[in-house]
Structure formats: structure tokens, C-alpha cells
């Protein structure tokens, strides 16, 4: 299994095109796109092709999709993306009621149906705020997925932990909805504060051997995307984490 690299992790690299040439030596031949690399899709695709790199998945903002669906499809088709995930809501836009989260799910479902008609898988990517219990005791993530039965889910397991929930439980509960997994690690409490408490894969507190086993039991057809939200050394992070993923994947075959 070759992991993808979420390019948001590499946003501080000065030359995003030149970066692509460094990735194959790390064992990374797949990437996950985000808005920062979509400005010239044709040029980026040319650089990907020159380095033997593909982009099976990409993030697209929900507002951008709804504002100009055809523009997103142009980017998707140029870059060869087959899986699109809406990644985030600004705090001011986050619902705080059951009806609000259900309405968001309905918006996502409508978008998903448009992508499905074009042969593209569409889903939601979570952070921690979807797991903060509402006043009635319900969980936004559950409401959202129930209200959007036609969409997939890119599960960011570390954010689930930060949301105070058990990621293995959610992987098992929504196994049929999983399309991709964000693979990241949480540093020990009080460390890596300059990196917002994240760490290289395998150097933190997440039990990724058990989590990968749970993911593989849930589905044999998942995209695994390495991510670090604020690496101090992006290239070093990517190299070390790709190597760690390879070892972790091998250990789940034992």
C-alpha cells in the first residue's frame, strides 16, 4: 500500500512544483490536493506526470463547489482526481443545533449527487468540532452522515481523538461510508507545541497498528493520506512518516 500525502502539510515549501520531484525518493507517488495547488491545474498535472505522481483525491471547499460546480469539475478532470472531500467549516459557519447539522448534511448530499453523476466520489472530512455533543446529547457527525446518506467519509482519526471520541468505534460504526483515512499522529501532552501538538507518524500517542487493522477490516478499498497540520520540517516530516507508514502497514500483515 502506497500512502498519499495531503499537500496541505507541505504548504510552507517555497516551490510546490519542485517539491513533487522530491517525493518519489520518499516512496510517495500519490498526493491529495487542496486549494493551494489548484491555481494552474494543467501545469501542476504536467509536473505530476513528469515525476510519476497521481492525485486520487482532493479537498474542495463546500462554498466553492456550490458557487461554481463546473469550475471544480475542470480542476478535478485536469488533475485526475476521483475522490473529492469537503474539508472544513469556519467556526462562524458551524451549526449548533440538530436541525442545523441536518441542513448541512442535506447540502452535502445534494453536492454529492452531482459529483456521483460525473463518476466522482464525494464525501466529508472531519475535524474535532463534529464530535462536540449538542445540547440534546446528540453528535454532529452522526447527524450529518444520517442526513447525507449518499456521501462518503474521509475519516481523520486523530481529530476524532481530539474530539474526545474513540476512532475505532467510528471506523466500525461507519465502515460502509469510509472512503479515505487521514493518517496523522498526536504528540505527547505538553510537547511539539510549536507544531500545534502534532507529531510525525509513529512518534506520537496514536496506536496506528491497531487503527490500521481496524481500517483494513472495515474496507479493503481506502485511500490513506498522510497529514500533519503544522510540521516544522515539512520535507523531513513527509519522509519519516512515509517510512513509518510502510512499517506499520507491514506489521498489520503479520
Render pLDDT for 111-145 as a digit per residue (tens, 0 to 9).
999 999 999 999 999 999 999 999 999 999 999 99
> pLDDT > 70: what percent of the chain?
100
* 209 CB-side CA count, 13 A: 8
CA distance 123 to 150: 9
Q: Which of 32, 38, 30 is nearest to 9 (CA)?
A: 32
Site of grid cell 474526545? 164
What element of type H or E holds 5? strand 4-6
* 222 CB-side CA count, 13 A: 27
Q: What contacts 47, CB < 8 A, 6 or more positions away? A: 17, 20, 21
Q: How many angstroms separate the Cα of 128 from the Cα of each of 11, 28, 90, 228? A: 22, 27, 12, 15
Tens of pLDDT, residues 186-205: 999 999 999 999 999 999 99
Band of residue 217 on the pLDDT scale cut at 50, 70, 90: very high
Full-model pTM: 0.96
Looking at residue 235, its pLDDT comes to 97
Domains and CATH numbers, the chain: 4-251 (3.20.20.150)
Show the cell assigned to 233. 520540517
> 31 forms bridges with which residues in the sheet?
5
Band of residue 254 on the pLDDT scale cut at 50, 70, 90: low
> 57 forms bridges with which residues in the sheet?
32, 83
| Mean pLDDT for the stretch of residues 1-30 | 96
Burial class from Cβ neighbours inside 10 Å (0-12, 13-18, 19+) for residue 252 reads middle
Looking at residue 253, its pLDDT comes to 81
Reading phi first (left if > 0) and then psi (alpha if -120 to 50, else beta), residue 196 is in left
Tens of pLDDT, residues 146-191: 999 999 999 999 999 999 999 999 999 999 999 999 999 999 999 9
Amino acid at each position: 500500500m502506497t500512502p498519499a500525502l495531503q499537500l496541505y502539510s507541505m504548504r510552507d515549501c517555497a516551490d510546490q512544483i519542485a517539491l513533487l520531484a522530491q517525493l518519489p525518493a520518499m516512496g510517495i507517488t500519490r498526493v491529495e490536493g487542496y486549494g493551494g495547488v489548484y491555481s494552474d491545474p494543467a501545469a501542476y498535472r504536467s509536473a505530476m506526470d513528469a515525476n510519476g505522481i497521481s492525485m486520487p483525491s482532493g479537498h474542495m471547499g463546500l462554498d466553492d463547489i456550490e458557487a461554481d460546480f463546473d469550475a471544480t469539475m475542470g480542476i478535478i478532470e485536469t488533475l485526475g482526481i476521483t475522490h473529492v472531500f469537503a474539508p472544513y467549516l469556519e467556526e462562524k459557519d458551524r451549526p449548533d443545533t440538530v436541525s442545523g447539522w441536518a441542513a448541512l448534511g442535506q447540502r452535502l448530499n445534494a453536492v454529492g449527487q452531482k459529483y456521483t453523476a460525473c463518476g466522482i466520489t464525494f464525501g466529508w472530512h472531519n475535524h474535532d468540532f463534529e464530535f462536540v455533543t449538542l445540547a440534546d446529547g446528540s453528535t454532529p457527525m452522526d447527524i450529518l452522515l444520517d442526513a447525507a446518506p449518499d456521501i462518503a467519509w474521509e475519516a481523520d482519526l486523530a481529530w476524532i481523538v481530539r474530539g474526545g471520541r474513540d476512532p475505532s468505534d467510528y471506523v466500525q460504526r461507519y465502515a460502509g461510508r469510509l472512503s479515505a483515512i487521514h493518517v496523522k499522529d498526536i504528540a505527547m501532552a505538553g510537547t511539539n507545541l510549536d507544531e500545534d501538538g502534532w507529531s510525525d507518524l509513529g512518534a506520537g500517542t496514536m496506536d496506528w497498528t491497531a487503527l490500521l487493522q481496524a481500517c483494513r477490516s472495515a474496507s479493503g478499498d481506502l485511500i490513506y493520506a498522510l497529514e500533519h497540520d503544522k510540521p516544522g520540517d515539512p520535507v523531513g516530516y513527509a519522509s519519516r512518516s512515509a517510512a513509518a507508514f510502510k512499517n506499520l502497514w507491514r506489521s498489520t500483515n503479520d
